[in-house]
Amino acid sequence: MNTITQSQLDLLVHTIRTTPIIDHHAHPLLNWANQGKYPLLHITSEASGDAIENATTTLPHLRAVRQLSKELKCPATWESIVAKLEAIRLDPDEPDIWSEWISRCLEGVHTILLDDRLDDKDAVEDFEWHSSYLQSPCKRIVRIESVAADLVKHLSAGELHKAALHKAVRPEAILNDPVELKDFWEDWAASFDNAIKSAIDDPLVVAFKSVVAYRTGLDVAGKEPTKDVVQPALKEVVKKFLKGGTARLEHSSLNGYIIHRTATLIRHHKVKGQEEKIPRKLKKPIQFHTGLGDSDLTLAKASPGHLQEFVRAYPDVPMVLLHAGYPFTKEIAYMATVYKNVYADIGEVFPCISKDGQERLLMEILELCPWSKILWSTDGHWFPETYLLAILQIREAFETVLCSYVLKGQLGWKAAIELVKDLLFRNANKLYHLGLDFPEAQEVASRSLTRYPYPSRDLTVLQEFLSNTIEPTFVQICWNDYTALQRMRLVPFRKFMSLLEAGRSTDIGITKAVFGMIQNDYLIPSASPTGEYRLHPDFTSLKHGPVEGHISMHGEFREQDGLPVPLCPRSLLLRTVEIGAQKGLNFLLGFEIEFLLLERVDTDSVLDRYTTLKTDGHAWSVSKYYANPKIKALLKNMVEALAQMDIYVEQIHAESATGQFELILPPYPPVQAVDTLLHTRDVMANLATEAGFKMTLHPKPFPKACGTAAHMHMSILPEPDAFDSEKVTQQFYAGVLKHLRAITAFTYSNAASYDRAQDGVWAGGRWVTWGTQNRETALRKIEGSHWEVKIIDGLANPYFAASAILLAGIRGVEKEEKMVWGDCELDPATLTDMDRKELGISQMLPGSVEEALKALQEDTEMVEMLGSELVERYVAIKEFEGEFLGKMGADERRLWLMERY
């Protein structure tokens, strides 16, 4: 699975769900008096007559029922939906309910380009009515066949009728006279030209539309038909109309003529008062209905490939192929790719085909077609629900398809965001010359994101993750509490999958007491078991393990409305990363896991449960420890098991204390780094237990042996090209040093931590300072922006520790903190007072949990960055924990901690 963070996917999905839409092809809604003119079943089907009754047994219909019932808060049956909508539509005493429903259905639509000739104007609402629900006024699309037919009606009832009266003959007999037919033709052709020219000049009109696919098919010739061919066709249309028929254009030559004339007039149009023709990029497009339609259409002739000759004939006239050409989607993708003037619309298939079909279609169009040539529309008509369903479903399809592409590495997450904005807004804004403003990407990114569940996206991620693997038995959803205890909930995999496949959230209800407990589940006095959070699994943290048959994820806590919980450690780190990114700062973190292996002892003594390994001269980096077959097998299993989880150990070696080792993880972005650290520890502990050992992270398991740390390496990205790397590095670490005493409350979070925090033992010492490659300083500079934090151990909640360090550094850059500390080359404990003064070393690190917590509370800037509510809760828990542990004897406390860490 491609490396991508939860925040990046959240931002992509947020963009998908909130990007405003320019609906570049739709039709007016029926007015109140005509609500019953068409069956409601038309919202998902192009069928008509008796055939519409079968729509209830289609996948699009069943999906619409589920979605509408959720929106209407009624039972998921068609009968219930019809009843609810009739109550909304037809209640004269509650007009506001109808208006509110229209607003909901059009939510997210910025403006609509309306083809208003699907029905008589008396049956539908007008432009102003539609515009009242939108951010920008509607614009008009002129249907050219309707213009031509209206002129037939007008001229037949006017000039033709007068000529018939003058000659005392029937109107249709007039056209038998070649001279009269020629005059009628010239009047009609000139009137058509004038109507098109007027529309080209009309700022309300942004495009033209042809429904020739419904008339004689899209096989339009590459040359304009001659009048000798067109005049007889026009004569037949007029005669049919005069006999009580319609003025519908059903002659290929006549249809070809009006399409060619429209394209010619667009091509040669000039700005009034100027000689120059309008550049192609400013010309108004012609839309063509292609593919999907009702039974009045000959499907074979609705294939957009038939238009190739016509397209080639007018390379400077923009053309839009509507409705994805369904089922000829590959054809519109090809044509939009190879012809500069052709654009592909993917409307109407939402909501008229199934969910899987929509996703396949979106993938099919993106297989070939540049997304700068793709637009989206609802083809909404008659019923507001056609808009609502189309909008819901395109956003769902984007979530599934684009998140899959991003996770597979086929598309960057930033590019995916741009794709969404282009397809839903910017491409139409540019093509139709609308001149509408759109919020810039940085404005969207700076918003405080509400984190909603994304079942469709999550299902895609999980399916991709599990491809070609055996189905697991359980899903672990983990979190790290205020005492750094790793906790989790276990969900049977099939139950988990059933929720995702049903489109339901996989969030788990967890008591709000979760952030008020210590290790033995005792609740601090200020916390309450009342209330519930939602534990939301982060699918980007998916890993196999930590035991066979399990997959696991880390979760973050959210309120019932989806907002992050201010007390959640992981949410804090996510927010911290976002703050850094907004200021152009990105980071890589890498952890060293120091751990101690102990033998389990079969004894009745509570205090002698574990004993040190007999390793015959164990020391730092010696090779002979590997001769122990059990240790050799265990370390080999650890590295191989982690590699199977795509965690590639960089180094492993013996540390100084007997049975002590260090495993080094690769660098990752902050949240991924902490997730990986915690998952790796779980894997290692489980393997150690299986091998008969006890693994512990206790900071000082034996008074006279070396302690155990969890050093954190840190680099600031990007490197030199983006900013003054040296200057930013100095400011960042100056910020860390300025707040280091407060930070220690998170990195040395237990009384046992301070047993390790001594001078002269390579533990980072007890002074607030830094030094190049100096392991006796709290911060060790390695090279460039790569530094190591020495004062952190395995009892620290790493989300808190990383957040505190990063926030302090980010604030240092923001305030341009000066590095007042000099590069300390020696153990600061060995320096004279004057030497320390010259290096700016004036403060010692706290010597106890109590002192560290006090330093945190007194650092008002740190409290503000972390959040006062979180700091208050953290201090309360650590004080309660300290009081509890303080009642134990030293040996009992040591064992108690070793059992848990």
SS (H, E, C) 637-667: HHHHHHHHCCCCCCEEEECCCCCEEEEECCC
* Rounded Cα gap, residues 501 and 493, in angstroms: 12
SS (H, E, C) 164-210: HHHHCCCHHHHCCCHHHHHHHHHHHHHHHHHHHHHHHHCCCEEEEEE
Question: Average pLDDT in the 827-831 region?
Answer: 86
* Rounded Cα gap, residues 70 and 59, in angstroms: 17
Q: What is the pLDDT of residues 654-668, one digit of tens each?
A: 888 888 899 999 999
Question: Average pLDDT in the 533-552 region?
Answer: 91
Backbone angles phi, psi at 451, to 5 degrees: -95, 105
Q: What percent of the chain has pLDDT over 70?
A: 92
* Rounded Cα gap, residues 316 and 332, in angstroms: 18
Q: pLDDT averaged over the chain?
A: 87
Between 72-76, 429-433, 561-565, the lowest mean confidence (pLDDT) is in 561-565
Provide the phi-psi class of 64: left if phi over 0, else alpha when psi is between -120 and 50, else beta: alpha
Q: What are the boundaries of each domain within the chain?
A: 455-565, 574-900
Between 238-242, 275-279, 534-538, 625-629, the lowest mean confidence (pLDDT) is in 275-279
At residue 562, what is the residue type? G
Bridge partners of 772? Answer: 781
Residue 720's pLDDT band, with cuts at 50, 70 and 90, is very low
CA distances from residue 562 to 228, 556, 805 in whole angstroms, order as listed: 69, 11, 27
**Above 80 in pLDDT, residue 760?**
no
Q: Which letter, b or e, does each residue of 142-166 get, where b requires 16 or more Cβ atoms within 10 Å of its Cβ?
A: bbbbbbbbbbbeebbeebbeebbee
* Rounded Cα gap, residues 459 and 534, in angstroms: 19
Q: What is the pLDDT of residues 121-130, one digit of tens each?
A: 888 989 999 9
Can you give the pLDDT at residue 95? Answer: 66
CA distances from residue 709 to 763, 767, 850 in whole angstroms, order as listed: 8, 17, 20
- Residue 87, C-beta contacts closer than 8 angstroms, at least 6 positions apart: none
Backbone angles phi, psi at 173, to 5 degrees: -75, -25
At residue 669, what is the residue type? P
Can you give the pLDDT at residue 723? Answer: 63
Q: What is the pLDDT of residues 488-515, one digit of tens each?
A: 999 999 999 888 887 788 889 999 999 9
Can you give the pLDDT at residue 322? Answer: 95
CA distances from residue 405 to 364, 398, 452 in whole angstroms, order as listed: 13, 10, 21
Residue 454's pLDDT band, with cuts at 50, 70 and 90, is low
CA atoms within 13 A on the CB side of 155: 27
Can you give the pLDDT at residue 161? Answer: 63
* Rounded Cα gap, residues 683 and 664, in angstroms: 14
Question: Average pLDDT in the 230-251 region?
Answer: 82
Helices of type H across 505-661? 569-582, 629-644
* Rounded Cα gap, residues 777 and 763, in angstroms: 8
Can you give the pLDDT at residue 278? Answer: 63
Q: Hey, is 355 helix, strand or coil?
A: helix
Q: Which residue has the higher pLDDT, 752 or 602?
A: 752
Q: Which residue has the higher pLDDT, 882 or 562?
A: 882
Q: Hey, is 447 helix, strand or coil?
A: coil
Q: Of 828, 871, 568, 870, which is closest to residue 742 (Cα–Cα)?
A: 871
**Above 60 in pLDDT, residue 156?**
yes
**Above 60 in pLDDT, residue 440?**
no
Q: What is the pLDDT of residues 835-855, one digit of tens each?
A: 889 898 898 899 999 999 999
**Above 70 in pLDDT, residue 3?**
no
Q: Which two three-digit tokens encode residue 255?
A: 């249809």
Residue 567's pLDDT band, with cuts at 50, 70 and 90, is very high
Question: Average pLDDT in the 819-835 region?
Answer: 89
Question: Average pLDDT in the 740-767 region?
Answer: 86
Q: Does domain 455-565 have CATH number 2.40.30.170?
A: no
Contact (Cβ atoms closer than 8 angstroms) between residue 384 and residue 349? no
- Residue 765, C-beta contacts closer than 8 angstroms, at least 6 positions apart: 759, 776, 777, 778, 790, 827, 828, 829, 845
Can you give the pLDDT at residue 881? Answer: 93
Q: Hey, is 38 helix, strand or coil?
A: coil
* Rounded Cα gap, residues 111 and 106, in angstroms: 10
CA distances from residue 344 to 118, 287, 318, 332, 831 in whole angstroms, order as listed: 22, 10, 11, 6, 73
**Above 80 in pLDDT, residue 705?**
no
Enclosing H/E stretch for 588: strand 586-600
Q: Hey, is 84 helix, strand or coil?
A: helix
**Above 80 in pLDDT, residue 176?**
no
Domain 574-900 class in CATH: alpha beta
Q: What is the pLDDT of residues 13-65, one digit of tens each?
A: 888 988 999 999 999 999 878 888 888 898 998 888 888 888 899 999 999 99
Can you give the pLDDT at residue 93? Answer: 67
Q: Of 627, 645, 655, 654, which is closest to residue 687 (Cα–Cα)?
A: 645
Can you give the pLDDT at residue 451? Answer: 46
**Above 80 in pLDDT, residue 646?**
yes
Residue 818's pLDDT band, with cuts at 50, 70 and 90, is very high
Q: Radius of gyration of the chain from Cα atoms? A: 36
